[in-house]
Chain A
Amino acid sequence: MAKAAVKKPASAPATALVECRPALAGREASGSNVKVSVLPPAERISLRAPEASVAALSRALGVTLPQKPKTSASKNGRTVLWLGPDEWFVIDEAGGNPLDDCTNAKALHSAVGVSHRNVAFAVSGAGAQATVSAGCPQDLSLDAFPVGACSRTVLGKSEILLYRPAADAFRVECWRSFSDYVFTFLTEAARDAAA
């Protein structure tokens, strides 16, 4: 399933039986100091591995898996988020296939393609922190949640993955079926953050 996702529309046969239609594609909302936009589809995998496999998987993926809580690592358009003591979330926005790369690692691991399970939003601008804080109970000040920090947490009534690529930008990932709720929530929050 994940392999099918990698195919670009150009290489797909003329009579494609399955059409990949990303949820909320191209939607955007903005307040005076914050912008909420839906990010283009990306390759994603959920990775579980014991400590002994970390080095081999880091080599296979080309990114060193972060070992400290709430940290991430990013290289060549590929971002690895620490989710738990033996759990990582890999996002590839450069068109690579992390699932295939993992098969090159002989060390024990479990990699599951979840590219189409998630929809990602970018929240950017001076009001980004206020916008996300409208529904996220964590302390998102730069002291507690610095650039590069990431965490699985909640936004309103939905579970999200939160990643901070820059001081005034957040990446919010949620399950596809929650995307409508999360986008509406962020849109309303952006309006409040601007006020």
Chain B
Amino acid sequence: MLLIHCPYCEEERPEIEFRNAGEAHIARPSDIASISDADFEKFFFIRDNTKGLVYERWRHVHGCARFFNAVRDSVSDKFVMTYKAGEPKPKKLPGAGK
């Protein structure tokens, strides 16, 4: 079974305690009523769906129930790292080349 490190529980937990919650670092427009339909579409529906490293929100739904962010390889399913919600995108990933 895949183990995922929860930054709030501070340990690795089995994957079935978790749930994916889509792409991370998508800021909701502060005044959503004033944006154009095209901008709303971009914010609401359009996702990168990259092959390789992806930044995602995950939720430890059957554990501490908190949302957090994870860097995952969408090809190998390997979790590179996880970090708490609200923290900025990590500049340097563990194991990445210098």
Contact = CB atoms under 8 A, between A and B. Distances in A.
B13 interface: yes
Given A137-B16, A137-B17, A152 B62 contact: yes
Q: Which of B8, B14, B63 has the most chain A CB within a 10 Å cutoff?
A: B63
Contacts of B1: 137
A133 to B, nearest CB: 12
B64 A152 contact: yes
B9 A69 contact: yes
A168 interface: no
B26 interface: no
Looking at chain B, what size class is its interface with the partner chain? 10 to 19
B56 to A, nearest CB: 20
A138 B66 contact: no
B11 A87 contact: no
Interface of B is mostly: loop
Nearest to A160: B62
A153 B66 contact: no
Contacts of A85: 8, 64, 66
A154 B62 contact: yes
A69 B11 contact: yes
A84 B8 contact: yes
A116 interface: no
Nearest to B8: A85
Contacts of B66: 84-85
Contacts of B9: 69-70, 151
A152 B63 contact: yes
Nearest to A155: B62
A159 B62 CA distance: 7
Report the 7 A-B pairs with minimum CB-CB distance, sorted nearest first: A137-B14, A84-B64, A69-B9, A154-B62, A69-B10, A159-B62, A85-B8
Interface of A: 69-70, 83-85, 87, 137-138, 151-154, 159
